[in-house]
Structure 1
Amino acid sequence: MDIKALRYFVELVKQKSFTKASEKLFVTQPTISKMIKNLETELDLPLLHREGRRFWLTDAGEVVFQNAQGILSQMDELVTELDDLNELRKGRLKVGIPPMIGHLYAGIIRQYRQLYPDVELVILEYGGRKLEHAVLDGELDVAITMLSEYIEDDLNTLEFNCYPVYAVLCDTPEWREKSVVHWDELSDESFFVYTDEFTLSESIHQACQKAGFTPQIAARSSQWDFLVALVKTGGVAFVPEPLCGRMDSKGLLIRPIEPTINWDLGVVWHAQRYLSKAAQAWIELCYRYKESLNKQPQ
């Protein structure tokens, strides 16, 4: 059914005159007559009783008139909401962030909320690998995560920060005298590592393989502070530099590892799928954040 024909019909009934309706709609009277005739043909029912210049609604015309007003109102609301989306007065943005990263980028989230207060921000916490798949599947619009050389080809990336990952060990004489730990020295230790959905867990496993051994996994968790607590009974955990200052280091040693694993953080989004205005605004904000990092003194 032609929405324009419905609009012409409703306006004609409201104005009760072809002349007034044509002035209101900025079209000719024959155009209105033709649109309504087409509507009657489509419905196979007369909508108007005509007598000279006078007209009144048939029973079918009354039903169409009442329902058409609701339809046109909904269409107007739809157009308004779409316009609001374009201006970011409404919308929804689904952002994925690993649990250990959130506090580092709370400033970006706050700034986005300040700039676009009417956009609903949904934040989901997953591990890096799961975040990548969620973006690829359309479950998430964007994600902040650890980047790696094995990241999916269909994802665009923007790197933010790069931090070294440290070994966290029990404070024993053996480790106390070492300023740096090499991977092969950890071959007999129990490993407390992140779940398989975390990109960092994959990087740790690869580093061990390159050093010639398979790590002895004693426990896995998505909570870095829980893994650190387990180390106090012996073993090793791995914590990115920004988190080291947040942990209770009593009874623990924090040591650099060689070769170093880097915790490269950045934002990812789908390279092929259409990006909503809300997502485009987020990415633009991320680029500005990146520029601000580049301007900071080294």
Structure 2
Amino acid sequence: MDIKTLRYFVEVVRQQSFTRAAQNLYVTQPTISKMLRNLEEELACTLLIRDGRKLLLTDTGRVVYERGIAILAEFRQLEAELSDIHHLDKGMLRLGIPPMVGMLMAGPIGLYRQRYPGVELKISEFGSLTVQQAVMNGELDMAITALPLDEEQAFSILPLFSHPLYVLAPRSGEWVQRDYIEPKALAAHPLLLYNDDFALSRQLMQLFATQGINPSVAVRSGQWDFLAAMVQAGVGIAILPEPVCRKLDKTILRWIPLRSPLRWELGMIWRESVYLSHSAQAWLRCCKEFWPASAGQ
């Protein structure tokens, strides 16, 4: 069994598709199919079973898949350590960023590219919960995510910044006179929230539960500008961090403080007790320089 075959198998399982796996790995579908047949022949067992459009793992297949994820993560660590021998004149840093954080990243990314033009930044945009899992699996080197994290997660953390939450509403009707909004008042209005894989969405649902609020969720999305457009269209009201609200048109929308201790706190995470490449260490230095408050953490 070679590392390439193992990578093909893991990607097919992740994508639940030979075609999508081939596209992601830049090979042909027959190549992947042949490699997986060879792997099954080598192991003398069946790894995958087709069930309509689904690909189901056999018991043996699940063992190979779970061990394969760990082996590939270790192999990527080896590649990173060997690449670092050549310092920062080349290489890659795989960084995860939730979509609504992207607008805040131009500064540190620009600083990083100016100093280390030979390092390629590969950025993946997913919700906080998804990027956390990707870091844990070794698919990403580092990620920005919402804090706090679950205590059992083995991450090193660099807190970056913290912002209050606002209720985004039309600049009309009852919203014009509001100076703040209590969480319980949100129960009377359709809400526009982020998708379930966003930590902020989970935190808001926990807030509602502790206060006995049964929210009426009208729309979920992973894009803050879409949620703002839905507010403008009169579909409902949204709960967004202050930096997002500041990007919007205040002549037609109003953002009102949410009276709650819940804040939008973000930090950089990476796997605890693993090798941190020079390119990743350089990224941390740029973050600390761009957000000086984080330097003392």
TM-score normalised by length of structure 1: 0.66
Secondary structure of the residue aligned to 1:101 is helix
**Aligned sequence identity (%):** 39
Partner of 2:286: 285
1:269 and 2:270 matched: yes
Choose 217-226 or 82-91, whichever is displaced more. 82-91
Partner of 2:68: none
Choose 150-159 or 282-291, whichever is displaced more. 282-291
Contact 2:166 2:257 in 1 (8 A): yes
Letter in 1 for 2:248: M
Task: Using the TM superposition, give the Cα deviation of residue 149 of structure 1 relative to its aligned residue in structure 2, in angstroms.
Answer: 4.4
Partner of 1:231: 231
* Superposition map of 1:29-40 within 5 A: none
Choose 285-294 or 147-156, whichever is displaced more. 285-294
Q: Distance in 1 between matches of 2:183 and 2:293?
A: 35
Letter in 2 for 1:144: I
Q: Distance in 2 between matches of 1:188 and 1:284?
A: 46
1:166 and 2:166 matched: yes
Secondary structure of the residue aligned to 1:258 is coil
Letter in 2 for 1:194: Y
* Superposition map of 1:80-95 within 5 A: 82=82, 85-95=85-95
1:106 and 2:69 matched: no
Task: Using the TM superposition, give the Cα deviation of residue 234 of structure 1 relative to its aligned residue in structure 2, in angstroms.
Answer: 4.3
Partner of 1:50: none
Partner of 1:183: 183
Secondary structure of the residue aligned to 2:274 is coil
Task: Using the TM superposition, give the Cα deviation of residue 107 of structure 1 relative to its aligned residue in structure 2, in angstroms.
Answer: 1.4
Secondary structure of the residue aligned to 2:99 is coil
Letter in 1 for 2:288: Y
Which ranges in structure 2 are unaligned for 5 or more consecutive residues? Answer: 1-80
Contact 1:167 1:238 in 2 (8 A): yes
**1:60-97 alpha-carbon deviations (Å, 9 max, x no partner):** xxxxxxxxxxxxxxxxxxxxx94764411221110111
Q: Distance in 2 between matches of 1:242 and 1:129?
A: 21
Q: Distance in 2 between matches of 1:204 and 1:84?
A: 41
Secondary structure of the residue aligned to 2:168 is strand
Task: Using the TM superposition, give the Cα deviation of residue 114 of structure 1 relative to its aligned residue in structure 2, in angstroms.
Answer: 1.6
**1:218-264 alpha-carbon deviations (Å, 9 max, x no partner):** 11101111111112314210111111121124443211011142111
Partner of 2:204: 204
**1:177-230 alpha-carbon deviations (Å, 9 max, x no partner):** 221100111112111100111111111111211221121111110111111111
TM-score normalised by length of structure 2: 0.67
Partner of 2:127: 127
Q: Distance in 2 between matches of 1:206 and 1:247?
A: 27
Letter in 1 for 2:236: G
Secondary structure of the residue aligned to 1:275 is coil
Letter in 1 for 2:247: R
Contact 1:100 1:223 in 2 (8 A): yes
Q: Distance in 2 between matches of 1:242 and 1:83?
A: 37
**RMSD (CA atoms):** 2.2
Q: Distance in 1 between matches of 2:83 and 2:93?
A: 17
* Superposition map of 1:231-270 within 5 A: 231-232=231-232, 233-270=234-271
Letter in 1 for 2:92: R
Q: Distance in 2 between matches of 1:150 and 1:292?
A: 23
Contact 2:289 2:295 in 1 (8 A): no
Mark the CA change 1:121 to 1:85 in structure 2 (over 3 Å): closer, same or farther: farther
Task: Using the TM superposition, give the Cα deviation of residue 289 of structure 1 relative to its aligned residue in structure 2, in angstroms.
Answer: 3.6
Partner of 2:27: none
Secondary structure of the residue aligned to 1:132 is helix
Which ranges in structure 1 are unaligned for 5 or more consecutive residues? Answer: 1-80
Secondary structure of the residue aligned to 1:272 is coil
Letter in 2 for 1:178: R
Matched pairs, number: 215
Mark the CA change 1:83 to 1:256 in structure 2 (over 3 Å): closer, same or farther: closer
Letter in 1 for 2:100: M
Q: Distance in 2 between matches of 1:149 and 1:191?
A: 25
Q: Distance in 2 between matches of 1:83 and 1:225?
A: 39
Q: Distance in 2 between matches of 1:83 and 1:219?
A: 45
Contact 1:187 1:213 in 2 (8 A): yes
- When Rg is computed on C-alpha atoms for both structures, the one with the higher figure is 1
